[in-house]
Amino acid sequence: MNHSTDRPVFLNLLRIRQSAMALLSIFHRISGILMVLALPALVYLLGLSLRDAQGFAQAVNLLQHPVARFVLLLLGWALAHHMLAGIRFMLLDVDVGITRAAARNSAWLVLLVGLAVLVSLFVFYWLPGVLS
């Protein structure tokens, strides 16, 4: 049997240096799944907040818990990243930005804007809530 010498030795994803495009794609899937998993809790909170004044106050109270704020912070990042990466994917589908360099640049742009959203939410939303 003919064994090629340049075959991959292992497929440990943590040891393979991922490109920006691969990271964007992995985070796109993770963010989509995060948002789907959050839907029941968000629908419950919406229902609670619309029930009556007491329910609204209860929902506000629940959302002030540091863990709830952390989940909302993650969801804020997930929505921003997923939306931008999704728009990028759809542009690629219609051959916009399809060259290797353009695709790499747009992947970095989406990753960095997502990171900027995450840091802004941490500084302006999560920290003030925890420190007050």
Helix, strand, coil: what percent of the chain each, to 5?
80, 0, 20
- Closest approach, Cβ 89 to ligand HEM, in A, equals 4
Q: Is 15 strand, coil or helix?
A: coil
- Tell me if 97 contacts ligand HEM by CB under 6 A: no
Q: How far, in Å, CA of 62 to CA of 100, rounded?
A: 46
Q: Which of residues 16-35 bind ligand HEM (CB under 6 A)?
A: 28-29, 32-33, 35
- Least distance from ligand HEM to the Cβ atom of residue 85, Å: 8
Please enumerate in sequence order all residues whose Cβ is within 8 A of that of 98, keeping only pairs 6 or more positions apart, or say none: 92
- The count of residues interacting with ligand HEM (CB under 6 A) is 13
Question: Rg for the chain (alpha carbons), in Å?
Answer: 20
- Cβ at position 88, least distance to ligand HEM in Å: 9
Site residues (vs ligand HEM, CB under 6 A): 28-29, 32-33, 35-36, 39, 82-83, 86-87, 89-90
